[in-house]
Structure 1
Amino acid sequence: MTRPGTQSREPDAYRTIPMFAPARPRVPSAQPAAAPDRARWNNFTRTDLQTQPMLIVPPTAASTGRKAGAGEGLALSISSALGALAGLVSWLLAAHLLPQAEVGHAAGVVSAFILIAGIAQLNLGLGLIRWLPVAGRHAPPLVWRSLLLIMPLSAVAGLGYVLFVPDLARTVAGPHGPPALGMCLFALAAAGWGVFVVHDYILVAIGRPWWAVWRNGLFAVVRITLLVVLGTTLGAQGVVLSWVGPIVVWIAAGSLVLLVVVRRFARAHAGTGVMPTRSEVVGFLAPTATAQVGYTLLLNQVPLVVILRFGPESGAAFFIAWQATVVLETAANYYMHSLSAGWAREPERAAELTSSSRRRLLVIFLPLLALGALLAGPGLSIFGAGYASAADMLRLLLLGLAFRLVVVHELGVRTAAGHGMAYARLHTASTLLVLVVALVVPASTVPDPGGVSSALLPVTLGYVAVQVVCAAHVVLVRMLGRAPGSRAA
């Protein structure tokens, strides 16, 4: 260290910061005064202290919350969009490769095990994205307990389902295969898909969001390739196997990867960690899992209701248009799920994160909805002339989805804030209203000169009306200050 008025051969690597302290009173002494090391200013002294190196810590996830939150949301949205788009492409290929009856059998099996897996997940994906960022050393047991709960539950539910609907097992086993084989493969598919989506949430929660994108993209490519190869030779069974095979391989490989990265995450946060209590887990999962069941039924049940009430031709066109809206809504929901991770890391920035997530959600998805409305006619014409007549119906569904973005954002906020009952109330109400519309809107009993769009115009207008009402409710609650983030909802 260099004293004032002297020169040093080597510059001080660390700057000296003056510190001011009260001067001690003078005490008479016989000893001669030593050379002063301090410059006296009235009753204070300026003292040179020994300098010490300062540890510069790299930015943490908390300090980079803005970029991390945006990246996590975008990664989840892209992952879900890849899966949904791959589903559309696969059914388009199946429609060109197989007879319509074979496509129907395969679609029934796939829809069934996805429905079962979605219900058996118990909304643990959203729970993990809330709890894992702060779990620290408790991360591995939290992850494996969740996965080992979902997989057996999905498998048992799958076995029970095919016992009551044996046609599903016969489709999976093929025309000459034993039904027991079909039951086992169906249960395996349900168990695998039950944790397939949860893997994405885990990767986001531990700071690996873009791994989920590559994982889902590669899965889509392999699945579509297998569909072309197996579908042409095995028919409906080949379509189902193009799902089951990749699911089993991806879960086996993905579990090994998670074993490594979750342990690394735990070691990096070995000195910290908060495990959610049993009451916290039950308090969050009980209402939100119920709402998630309703949402899962909505995605799968509304097209079925329309098919039964309006006939197979109109219902098929509605199914394709509905799947197009599901692609965008699923991506928007996944984008908002990332808010839970950011909120868990930085609860003090809850209001800022809420506002920025709303702005990004609208900036990203409103242009996509406008583009979808513009390309509705050419896009549906790819499936055939019968589907192209549903272009106006698709435009109305996209209009309703524009209002639903307000609801999607509010659902994400309530999830991040841990307001399980408020989340369940809004989610259940918005989904049940759509189901009621599909069930009670009168069907046309006269020939329809306007085609599919005219026949289903009451249903699509009802969907738009429900979304407008729900969005208005959310805005009103926010204005009154009763929403999560302002006061308890």
Structure 2
Amino acid sequence: MSAPVGERPTGRLSGMWQGLLRDLRNPLFRNGYALMANTAITAVLGMGYWWLAAQLYDPADFGRGQAVITAMRLFASLTALGFVGALAKFIPVAGRHTPKLIVRAYVIAGATGVVAALGFLITLPWWGPTYATLGGFGPGLFFLASVLVWSVFTLEDVTLAGLRKATWVPVNSLGYGLVKMAMLVGLAFALPDDGIFVSWIIPAAMALIPINILLFRKVVPRHVRQTETVTTRPLDFREVGRFLSGDYPGTLSILASVYLIPVLIAARVDEVTFGYFSMAHTLGSLIELLAMNMATSLTVEGSFDRDRLASNSRRALRRAFMIIIPIVVVTILAAPLILRVFGAGFADQGTLLLQLMAVAVLPRVLIEIYLSGLRAMGQARRLALVQVCLAVLVLTGTLLLFPGAGMNSVGYALLLSELLIAALIFPGLRKMLNGGETSQSSVTAGSA
């Protein structure tokens, strides 16, 4: 006998709740959902932050602040972004070498980022008037320090994910976002020209202390204790280096689409126009980040348990599409309304770009799941080939289309490039999804 009609919604909600609880007991989904929740928190607080900035700061200062932040994140990510895949892969099997692995990643990422940023400052006149405010010893030194801070800040999230403690990531982002907004308001009057950049980096520097205390005093020692009895070979840092040599060129894809292209756009347009571009690009990149979140969790679980890579890949792909498709549809329909919150100019100039970037996320899901599977299997050459091809296509497409399409060239280039790459990798992805069980050993799930 069927249940009364009035009871069906309650039963359905109860079933969904039970399903969510089952997912949260699975490290693959727990980590993935935590990283997606972090992206959602970042998006909501980010929209609030930029809305306040648009109300409190001059349009030129708004655009210039975004341009300087984008440049800082580019140099901070030059090596840090390369370590994201490596930490997700090797932390689960690093054992007693885990602290050394994390510290080396911090040092190398920070040092190379600062050196690259120094080269940028030396050649500052080449980058247009938007970046002229970084001239001088004081602003230049602060910029270099910000690159160092953001390099470490970038690696904290994936470090927590690799340790299966990604649930701390949204907590960190929530605290950082709230402090950042409060500081933005205060500096609007005390430091109107540079308040956006300063309010962005100071809270990040403050967040480094408690998170790293949590990591090195509690989470990492617990991970070492829980994995020390596992019979795996010791971590070979030369293997990490070989993985990086294959994976790092692939990170150019993310650097090109998320960081380098905005810097190139900033050098070609005025501050106000860049402000319109950057707001749409930032929101589009946040949706793309959702695809990467579940993929990062897949890399971690694939390293812990290679036997279940195929089944985990299928489940990660289903969950990613279940979450991302509704977000993409809403973004496409509501893009003008979303951007109009910041001002009429943002909606008029940025709607098409945001819509194109939202559609491009759909093939990106396929690409990211495939890349994460390659990372888990240690197939660095194929990983590099796919990502470098994507980087070349995005950069070339943007430069070719810019004279006619302006800032919308970024959206067209992303969509066309990711559709092409998704089509090319689809046979390999299908093989990975249908790969069945492997005979390789797995790492215990004791650190869950």
Same fold judged by TM-score > 0.5?
A: yes
TM-superposed CA distance for 1:204, in Å, is 1.7
Tell me the equivalent position of 2:217: 260
Q: CA deviation at 1:236?
A: 2.9
2:290 corresponds, among 331, 335, 338, to: 331
Aligned to 2:365: 405
SS where residue 403 of structure 2 aligns?
A: coil
Q: CA deviation at 1:250?
A: 1.2
How far apart are 1:221 and its partner, in Å? 0.8
Report the CA distance between 1:285 and its aligned residue: 0.5
What's the counterpart of residue 260 of structure 2? Answer: 301
Residue 340 and residue 274 in structure 1: after superposition, are their counterparts in 2 closer, same or farther (change >3 A)? farther
Q: 1:442 to 1:251 in 2, by over 3 A?
A: closer
Question: Cα offset for 1:183?
Answer: 2.7
When residues 286 and 484 of structure 1 are mapped into structure 2, their CA distance, relative to the original with a 3 A threshold, is farther
Name the structure where helix makes up a greater proportion of residues: 2
8 Å contact kept, 1:406–1:471: yes
Select the residue among 398, 413, 420 that pairs with 1:469: 420
Superposition map of 1:37-186 within 5 A = 67-121=26-80, 123-165=82-124, 171=133, 179-186=136-143
Q: Is the 8 A contact 1:223 1:246 kept in 2?
A: yes
TM-score using structure 1 length: 0.75
Residue 168 of structure 1 and its aligned partner are, at CA, apart by 8.9
Q: Is the 8 A contact 2:65 2:197 kept in 1?
A: yes
Counterpart residue number, 2:202: 245
Cα deviations by residue, 1:305-339 (Å, 9 ceiling, x for unpaired) = 55666877765544322222101111221221111
Give the secondary-structure state (helix, strand or coil) at the position aligned to 1:236.
Answer: coil
* Residue 356 (structure 2) aligned to one of 361, 383, 396: 396
Q: Please give the root-mean-square deviation of Cα atoms over the aligned residues, in Å.
A: 3.1
Conserved in 2, the CA contact under 8 Å of 1:169 and 1:182?
no
In structure 2, what is the equivalent of residue 53 of structure 1?
Answer: none
Partner of 2:192: 235
- Could you tell me how far apart the structure 2 residues matched to 1:208 and 1:194 are? 20
* CA–CA distance in structure 2, aligned partners of residues 242 and 439 of structure 1: 32
* Partners of 1:359 and 1:310 in 2: CA distance: 40
How far apart, in 1, do the equivalents of 2:160 and 2:433 lie?
A: 29
Given candidates 389, 395, 398, the residue that maps to 1:435 is 395
> Which residue type is aligned with residue 142 of structure 2?
L
The offset of 1:382, in angstroms, is 1.3
Give the count of matched residue pairs: 410
Measure, in 1, the Cα distance between the counterparts of 2:427 and 2:384.
18
* Partner SS, residue 209 of structure 1: coil
Distance, in Å, in 2 between the alignment partners of 1:188 and 1:457 is: 33
Determine helix, strand or coil for the equivalent of 1:94.
helix
Q: Do the aligned partners of 1:138 and 1:274 also contact (CA within 8 Å) in 2?
A: no
Does the CA-based 8 Å contact 1:170-1:182 persist in structure 2?
Answer: no
Contact 1:131/1:275 (CA < 8 Å) preserved in 2? Answer: no
Structure number with greater Rg is 1
Give per-residue Cα distances to partners, 1:445-475, cap 9 Å, x unaligned: xxxxxxxxx8766764454332222221122
Offset of residue 184 of structure 1: 2.6
Shift of the 400–146 alpha-carbon distance from structure 1 to 2, 3 Å rule, reads: closer
TM-score, normalised relative to structure 2:
0.82
Where 1:124 maps in the other structure, the secondary structure is helix
Find the counterpart in structure 1 of residue 229 from structure 2: 271
Residue from 341, 349, 355 that aligns with 1:382: 341
Separation (CA, whole Å) in 1 of partners of 2:196 and 2:409: 34
Range moving further from structure 2, 250-259 or 221-230:
250-259
The structure showing larger relative contact order (alpha-carbon pairs under 8 Å, at least 6 residues apart) is: 2
Who is 1:341 aligned against?
A: 300
* Residue 65 (structure 1) shift: 9.9
Structure 2 residue runs of 5 or longer lacking an equivalent are: 1-22, 438-448
- Aligned position for 1:188: 145
Aligned-residue offset at 1:304: 4.7
Give how far 1:182 is off: 2.4
2-side partners of 1:227 and 1:437: how far apart?
Answer: 36
- Deviations 1:346-392 (Å, cap 9, x if unpaired)? 11111111111111111111111111112112111112222223434
Query: Which runs of no fewer than 5 residues in structure 1 stay unpaired?
Result: 1-63, 174-178, 445-453
